[in-house]
Amino acid sequence: MNNPYGYINGRVRMMRVALVDARAMDDVTNTLNYQEFLRQISETPLREDLGEATAQGAGLGQLDEALSRNYLKAISHLRSIATGQPAREIEALLLRYDLQNVKTLVRGVQTGRSADDIVAGLIPAGTLPWSALQGAAQSADVASLAQTLSVAGGKIGQILRAAVSGGANSLLDLEVALDQGYYRAVLSGVRGTNVRRYFTREIDVRNLLIARQLRGAAPNVRYFIPGGRDVSEADFLRIAGGDNSVSAPDLGAVLEAPDLGSSEAIARRLLDEASRNVAMADALGPGVALDYLRRKEQEIARMRLIGRAKFYGLSKDELQRELEGA
Amino acid sequence: MAGQISPTRSAMLASKASLKTAQSGADLLKRKRDALIGEFFALVKDALAAREELSGVSKGAYTSLFGAKAWDSPEAVESLSLAGSGDYAIDMQIDNLYGVKVPRIEIPERDTATTFSPINVGARTIQAATDFGGVMDGIVKVAATETKLRRIGEEIKKTSRRVNALEQVLIPGIQDDIRFIRSVLDQREREASFTLKKIKAKLEADAKKDKENMQAGNHGSAAD
């Protein structure tokens, strides 16, 4: 029997070819001003989604919209090419958008924002139907929101319901429960060892970043994400207390960076590398899609950064410093 | 004004009293203005420092936001903004400064505890959230000093207008009145004196005539 990923990954590789290549990225980076930047990205595969971003008087708002549109279109396209078991595995990769949407809903409902304000913060990505998200935005309280989302289906909605039933009522408690539940759901949703290895690495990296961020405050295990491979709960507490040693040598760089921003940049590079390794090792699994999503995300992030730098007239060196943080 | 006043001695005394009151009022207002100008310049320094501070923290905050929106996506950053309650309570009291009501705003102690989970939030975004807390404090500080400055400035302008009105209009008007009354009274005095002199001269002339007639009568009877 043919592996369905043969076809899917072929399509994903075609999508990867349509990403902005390094040379085009350099051309965009070297543009002199915002107008030239817009002209340059009009020559990349992003052009079909630029829309009003290139219109007279358009600003960063229109550029952000255009880039988000392009990114969401790529996600939607990725979902459309998979069916059956691969579709479920790819959906597990898209749970992070559900997480973001559910967090937006919880924040909005908990702080008493209007349904319109909440819907404006939602993104049409992930596995939850848009109509369910819109309906959930009308919820009067978090308990009814959790009820609505768990009825609509989706793992994050169930995690929220479990958290509410478990007595979590503050925004922070709910968010921490959602974040930790998200990683649990992803690990249970992906079958391949390669993709699992990527997510365990992501959990380790996240734990290191959070532990570093917590330094100076009382060590607290509340933010520890279970499921990693190289960073245990004890390591988390030790690192949060100021220790820099970690069992995996490549992760040490995250802790030794001079500041949190640099740590994050190193973490980003580690995860890029991990996703590339997964794509190579998992040629007949969801690893290729995972790597594509990460590359696309980085491409859009770089475009946003370059666009902002050109709009505000940052020097080449300043932009380079920002991009090195990538 | 001079035309409306009755040129009497009592009116002159009243005008002189008004002049004295107006002059002491102008003097008091000038002293109030000087004191307010002193306060104004002392506050200008604070206001400039507050502006400079706001500009510094804003630059940092917008730089953080710049990176946050690029790396964590504008949607994620906007979603995080929903986590804040949007309430910002300040403690404001009204002080009385030389009769000017000015606000005294206490900047509240900032709650550094985040309301959102830091697990999937980038360092730039957390930094931006912290920096914008500083921007909020900076805005309140600028609002407090600049409102105080504006109120004092308005009061200086009002006081200057009052001093000018007293010095340029009211006092000269009263002085004109006094001059008018004095000139009318002098004129009356001169007229009275002239009349008295005339009467005196007439009386003297009549007395002389009577004397001459009397003498002439005496001579006639002697000749007869």
**pLDDT tens-digit map of A202-228:** 999 999 999 998 888 777 888 999 999
- B97 strand-pairing partners: B100
Of the candidates A111, A120, A176, the beta carbon closest to that of B83 is on A111
Residue of B nearest to A170 (CA): B115
pLDDT digit string (tens) for B78-92?
A: 888 888 766 778 888
Domains of chain A, CATH where assigned: 4-87+305-324 (1.10.132.50), 90-189 (1.20.1690.10), 193-281 (1.20.1690.10)
Q: Tell whether B79 lies on the interface with A, counting CB pairs under 8 A.
A: yes
Structure tokens at B20: 């004295």
- A121 strand-pairing partners: none
pLDDT band of residue A321 (cuts 50, 70, 90) is confident
pLDDT digit string (tens) for A116-171?
A: 989 988 988 888 889 999 999 999 999 999 999 988 878 899 999 999 999 888 88
pLDDT at position B199 over 90: yes
Name chain B contacts of A108, Cβ cutoff 8 Å: 82
Q: Tell whether B60 lies on the interface with A, counting CB pairs under 8 A.
A: no
pLDDT at A245: 85
pLDDT > 90: what percent of chain A? 38
pLDDT band of residue A325 (cuts 50, 70, 90) is low
Least Cα distance to A202 among B75, B79, B125, B119 occurs for: B119
pLDDT at B151: 92
Q: Is B206 exposed, middle or buried (0-12, 13-18, 19+ CB in 10 A)?
A: exposed
Q: Tell whether B94 lies on the interface with A, counting CB pairs under 8 A.
A: no
pLDDT at B3: 56
Q: Tell whether B162 lies on the interface with A, counting CB pairs under 8 A.
A: no
Residues in chain B: 224
Q: Tell whether B73 lies on the interface with A, counting CB pairs under 8 A.
A: yes
Average pLDDT along chain B: 88
Q: Which of residues 83-142 of A touch B (CB under 8 A)?
A: 96, 99-100, 103-104, 107-108, 111, 113, 117-118, 120-121, 123
Q: Which of residues 144-183 of A touch B (CB under 8 A)?
A: 171-172, 175-176, 178-180, 182
pLDDT digit string (tens) for A12-59?
A: 999 999 899 889 998 999 998 888 999 999 888 888 888 777 777 778
* Amino acid identity for residue B164 in this structure: N
pLDDT band of residue A283 (cuts 50, 70, 90) is confident
pLDDT band of residue B223 (cuts 50, 70, 90) is very low
pLDDT digit string (tens) for A293-302?
A: 999 999 999 9
pLDDT band of residue B221 (cuts 50, 70, 90) is low
Question: Domain ranges in chain B?
Answer: 10-177
The backbone torsions φ and ψ at residue A72, rounded to the nearest 5 degrees and listed phi first, read -65, -35
Run of H or E including A89? helix A84-93
Q: Give the residue-averaged pLDDT of B38-62.
A: 91
Beta carbons of A108 and B115 less than 8 Å apart: no
Q: Give the residue-averaged pLDDT of B132-156.
A: 91
CA distance B165 to chain A (A): 52
- How many C-alpha atoms does A108 have within 13 Å on its Cβ side? 26
Average pLDDT along chain A: 88
pLDDT at B220: 59
Whether domain B10-177 has CATH 3.30.310.160: no
> How many whole angstroms from its chain centre is CA A183?
12
Name chain A contacts of B128, Cβ cutoff 8 Å: none
DSSP result, B175-214: HHHHHHHHHHHHHHHHHHHHHHHHHHHHHHHHHHHHHHHH
pLDDT band of residue B127 (cuts 50, 70, 90) is confident
Q: Tell whether A325 lies on the interface with B, counting CB pairs under 8 A.
A: yes
Question: Is residue A306 within 8 Å of residue A325, measured between CB atoms?
Answer: no
pLDDT at position A323 over 90: no
Q: Tell whether B59 lies on the interface with A, counting CB pairs under 8 A.
A: no
pLDDT band of residue B224 (cuts 50, 70, 90) is very low
Q: Which stretches within A190-315 are classed as H helix?
A: 193-213, 233-240, 252-256, 260-281, 287-311
Beta carbons of B75 and A264 less than 8 Å apart: no
Question: Is residue A310 within 8 Å of residue A316, measured between CB atoms?
Answer: no
**Measured distance CA(A86)–CA(A83) in Å, rounded:** 6
**Measured distance CA(B209)–CA(B203) in Å, rounded:** 10
pLDDT at position A103 over 90: yes
Q: Give the residue-averaged pLDDT of B172-194.
A: 94
pLDDT > 70: what percent of chain B? 94
Structure tokens at B199: 């009467």
pLDDT at B67: 85
**Measured distance CA(B131)–CA(B58) in Å, rounded:** 8
Beta carbons of A264 and B118 less than 8 Å apart: no
Structure tokens at A314: 């940052």
Of the candidates A96, A108, A182, the beta carbon closest to that of B82 is on A108
Beta carbons of B82 and A175 less than 8 Å apart: no
Least Cα distance to B104 among B137, B139, B147 occurs for: B147
pLDDT band of residue A1 (cuts 50, 70, 90) is low
Of the candidates A123, A171, A301, the beta carbon closest to that of B70 is on A301
Q: How many CB pairs under 8 A join A and B?
A: 95
Run of H or E including B97? strand B91-97
Beta carbons of B118 and A210 less than 8 Å apart: yes
pLDDT band of residue B182 (cuts 50, 70, 90) is very high
CA distance B109 to chain A (A): 18
pLDDT at position B193 over 90: yes
Structure tokens at B59: 């630059």
**Measured distance CA(A211)–CA(B45) in Å, rounded:** 43
Strand, coil or helix: what is B106?
A: strand
